[in-house]
Amino acid sequence: MKTFDSYRIINIIFAGVIGLVFIYSCLFLPENGSHLIPSFYTDITHQSSPSLGLSRAFSALVRGQFSLANQFNPYALQIFLFFSFQFIYRLISLNVDRIVFVNRKFWIRTDILLSPFLFLLAFYPLVHFTLQTIVKVIGSIFL
Amino acid sequence: MEKIKTNAGQGFGVAGLILGILCLFMAFIPCVGVIAIGPGVIAIVLSIVGLVQANNNNGARGINIAALVVSGLGTLIACVWLFVFVGIASLDDEQIEGVVKEVIEEVVRESNSCNTDLQDELNQLEMQLDSLKIDKTIHIQADSTKIEVHIEKK
């Protein structure tokens, strides 16, 4: 019971956070570019990164403008699908004890295995870029 | 005699785990990676407090250890981003451009195999660039349009 209570709290908070991400995307029009979160990477390096335009792409995706979203960020759709899946999974997990045919422990273990796997799948270009940049910059400083 | 497990440190563990996961997410987004240090440090503090409480009062330590590992990893990556930015500050513009272009090209090349639309667009663009000729007249030929621009010296 103890584990489930923690799990329920975690699900409520993550569903809330993802919900806030969707509300944030709805509040701003994709064309305006007036989103509140800046790209620190671009501000500092004056170069683009794979996460540039993600907020605008999300704003386009919540409005169903898929081609516009693809123009803003080619990786936005897979990341958006990951967030959507997580949002639905969190909502279902809140009522997991009511689902008769699902064992609670099995559900939590599946979540622990599935979520990191899907994260790596959706965020692969960003993870790859992060690791590559770190290696290159450190290499150019020390070698 | 077996001691009864308590809820000690569990609240801190849950808070640490949530902040740690958020920190790890943010750390892998280059645009905002560096600001993941904030939630990461708070998550580490919360999970250490939770772990100490769990140890002292025979609480469950699993969630605190998980929180500590996740937040530690997230904070480490965020710190490396900070280090990267400091490192970039010591490079000149040409070096920055070289490093970033090289990495972006590699990422695009690898992700192109999954993104056929982007690959098609790039191929089309390449074909259009090939059809662009410049002598005294600039000829641009697309599928349905042909443009000729004559250049004259005054």
Instruction: Give residue-wise pLDDT tens across range B62-110.
Output: 889 999 999 999 999 898 888 877 776 666 666 666 767 777 777 666 6
Same domain, B17 and B85: yes
- Partner-chain contact A132 B103, CB within 8 Å: yes
Instruction: Tell whether B103 is covered by a domain.
Output: no
Q: Is A105 on the interface with B (CB under 8 A)?
A: no
Question: What is the DSSP track for B13-69?
Answer: HHHHHHHHHHHHHHHTSTTTGGGGHHHHHHHHHHHHHHHHHHHHTTB--HHHHHHHH
B49 Cα to chain A: minimum distance (Å):
17
Chain A residues within an 8 Å CB radius of B115: 74
Compute the average pLDDT of residues B53-65. 87
Instruction: Tell whether B97 is covered by a domain.
Output: no
Alpha carbon separation from A15 to A113, B13, B18, B94 (Å, rounded)? 18, 19, 12, 44
CB-closest option in A14, A44, A74 to B115: A74
* ipTM for the complex shown: 0.85
The residue among B44, B72, B90 that closes a domain is B90
Compute the average pLDDT of residues B143-148. 69
Compute the average pLDDT of residues B40-56. 92
Per the structure, how many domains does chain B have?
2
Substitution target from B47, B84, B120 for chain A, most A beta carbons within 10 A: B84
The residue among B41, B69, B90 that closes a domain is B90
Name the band, by pLDDT with cuts 50, 70 and 90, for residue A19: very high
Same domain, B15 and B73: yes
Q: Is A132 on the interface with B (CB under 8 A)?
A: yes
DSSP assignment, residue A46?
Answer: S
Q: Look up the domain containing B86 and give its range.
A: 10-90
The structure tokens listed for B78 are 């965020």
DSSP assignment, residue A97?
Answer: G
State chain A's mean pLDDT as an integer. 85
> Among all chains, which residue has been given the structure tokens 């892998």?
B28
- Partner-chain contact B60 A2, CB within 8 Å: yes
Same domain, B14 and B83: yes
Q: Is A65 on the interface with B (CB under 8 A)?
A: no
Name the band, by pLDDT with cuts 50, 70 and 90, for residue A1: very low
Residue A102 has pLDDT above 80, yes or no: no
Q: What is the pLDDT of residue A45?
A: 76
Instruction: Tell whether B117 is covered by a domain.
Output: no
Instruction: Answer yes or no: are the C-beta atoms of A7 and A108 closer than 8 Å.
Output: yes
